Amino acid sequence: SQELEQSPQSLIVQEGKNLTINCTSSKTLYGLYWYKQKYGEGLIFLMMLQKGGEEKSHEKITAKLDEKKQQSSLHITASQPSHAGIYLCGAEGGSNYKLTFGKGTLLTVNP
Amino acid sequence: DAMVIQNPRYQVTQFGKPVTLSCSQTLNHNVMYWYQQKSSQAPKLLFHYYDKDFNNEADTPDNFQSRRPNTSFCFLDIRSPGLGDTAMYLCATSRGGQGEKLFFGSGTQLSVL
């Protein structure tokens, strides 16, 4: 089965700072999804990457998938308190539509 | 507008007392999923329905059952909850197929006392 490891497990930054969260897979990624979860709530879709070397941005969040399709990073520029939450990466299997998730990275942004 | 709705938001039950969690969707998606997420853990897929076809994960305990009476609704039944079943239960939907994102509800936080 596919395993996803996220690092760091938690992160505390000062408002305005940049940060990066990583997601590493034990197998080739066919589809890599980033979700955000506020404590005690459901997951909100951020971005999805499929092709090696692909990069997508939305507002101040940029996600990349490496060429080998085994690692993804999520970068937040000029962080704000609204960015606080748990960021989870999820991966599709090779031929199905189920997502396996990492444990998440807890982000705290101090004003 | 909420597209995947879970009820109740919080549920407290006693050890061994059956409990049912509900999920409804307005997206008309083919697939409905149930995930279990324990504190500081990854969401773990319990099972999913593709239309009427039920797909159980190999390691999902027999204590967990599901029903999907129609496209819009899906239920999670826990026949005899144990203390270890305390968790957030997340319902999600998708169109099915690769590259289709999952839409999640707000979750039901279940506490077994």
Of A23, A33, A3, A88, the C-alpha closest to B40 is: A88
The upper half-sphere exposure of residue A49, i.e. CA atoms within 13 Å in the direction of its Cβ, equals: 29
* pLDDT value of residue A29: 84
Mean pLDDT over B102-108 rounds to 96
- Residue B100: phi and psi, rounded to 5, are -95, 120
Gap from A29 CA to chain B (nearest CA, Å): 12
* pLDDT value of residue A28: 85
Of residues B17 and A28, more confidence is placed in B17
Cα gap B1→A70, rounded to integer Å: 36
Nearest by CB to residue B107, choosing from A4, A42, A99, is: A42
Task: Enumerate the residues of chain A whose CB falls inside 8 A of the CB of residue B40.
Answer: 103-104
Whether B9 has a pLDDT exceeding 70, the answer reads yes
At A104, the amino acid letter reads G
What distance separates the 2 farthest-apart alpha carbons in chain B? 40
User: A44 vs B104: CB contact, 8 Å cut-off?
Assistant: yes
Nearest CA in chain A to B98: A97
Q: What is the pLDDT of residues B29-74, one digit of tens each?
A: 999 999 999 998 999 999 999 999 999 999 999 999 999 999 999 9
Task: Enumerate the residues of chain B whose CB falls inside 8 A of the CB of residue A88.
Answer: 42-43
Interface with A, mutate which of B24, B98, B100 (most A CBs under 10 A)? B98
The distance in angstroms from the start CA to the end CA of chain A is: 40
Of A83, A109, A86, A20, the C-alpha closest to B37 is: A86
Cα gap B35→B60, rounded to integer Å: 10
Q: Which residues of chain A have pLDDT under 70?
A: 1, 93-95
Task: Enumerate the residues of chain B whose CB falls inside 8 A of the CB of residue A34.
Answer: none
Mean pLDDT over B84-101 rounds to 93
The mean pLDDT value of chain B amounts to 95
C-beta separation of A23 from A87 below 8 A:
no
Nearest CA in chain A to B47: A98
Question: DSSP code of B34?
Answer: E
Nearest by CB to residue B109, choosing from A40, A101, A102, is: A40
* pLDDT value of residue B1: 67
* pLDDT value of residue A11: 97
* pLDDT value of residue A3: 87
